[in-house]
A and B are shown apart, each in its own frame.
Chain A
């Protein structure tokens, strides 16, 4: 390498433009692929590497649930509320069913209320497990993801006991029917998820 190329003032003069030549660039960040959990576009106005302003396009995965809900029986909407957040689908099921119950002036038994609280708490915990595990994946730590998903699997086995499927469970109707059935509080489930071998 010749000494001339490596001269510091040469590089500085060449790469840093004078102040009067600075201008803003528009940079499209996204739209990203739907598989990346939420398609989303940012139109950035950049001053070099600094973001001056950002304009968002957030409507790519808007799916008109409200419009569909205008003309369908309420139980057809339950399956849509599953998809609003498939990591904690029961919570969205409850939100929808409690709204319908308010409109119809239905009062649920105390047992249903308790079961729903337990279901929603389990769903919340499962959701946080997914959330934190996936943060690990996004930072390159796939091992933590596979470890912590075993704990979510415990919760999904409970979901399966009640709703006959785990993801998404479409839960609210199942909770209501099982809560009003004649199962005594101490009864064991027919298959014991606590002792089943882990795959």
Chain B
């Protein structure tokens, strides 16, 4: 039982309006369960979010989170950003994704659109190493300040290699 019924007409409206306003920027879209997901160009993400907020009534940014796709054969490491938007008035939610190469982890900040993204962007920086140009206070939020890695990247091992006070004998190995 989905928490939100699929609103095919609202989904279609977003598809049409977004396609008309940003014909080059929407790279892919899919319906995953009750949410429509758009993969967009990183360069247009800020403009698209402003458009969705001002023109299509998506007044609430539910979450902003990083992603990491490790390198596979023929593909470089990719970082990404997932953003969930919610329109309270229309009871409608969509998801946006944008990818960027690991070597160029910079996104524009979204704090000018939604001030609440301040801490979410700090979290994405802390755990994935994404940077947000123009962020007012971009520093680690949950890990300690001198933490030497971005721990949610897939190549970071589960057990903390920076710890010297625990070894295998403590885990019965």
Contact = CB atoms under 8 A, between A and B. Distances in A.
Interface of A: 58-59, 62, 64, 66-68, 70-71, 102, 108, 110, 113
B152 interface: yes
A96 to B, nearest CB: 15
B2 to A, nearest CB: 9
Interface of B: 1, 32-33, 140-144, 151-152, 154, 156, 158
Contacts of A68: 158
A67 B158 contact: yes
A58 B140 CA distance: 10
Given A59-B141, A102-B33, A66 B158 contact: no
Contacts of B142: 58-59, 62
Given A59-B141, A64-B151, A71 B158 contact: yes
Contact of A67 (B1, B32, B144, B151): B151
B33 A67 contact: no
A59 B152 contact: no
Contacts of A113: 1
Nearest first, the 7 closest Cβ-Cβ pairs linking A and B are A59-B142, A62-B142, A113-B1, A102-B33, A71-B158, A67-B158, A59-B143
Contacts of A59: 140-144
Contacts of B140: 59
B151 to A, nearest CB: 6
A102 B144 CA distance: 34
Given A102-B33, A113-B1, A67 B141 contact: no
A62 B119 CA distance: 15
Contacts of B158: 67-68, 70-71
A113 B151 CA distance: 36
- Between A58, A64, A71, the greatest number of chain B beta carbons within 10 A of the residue's beta carbon is seen for A64
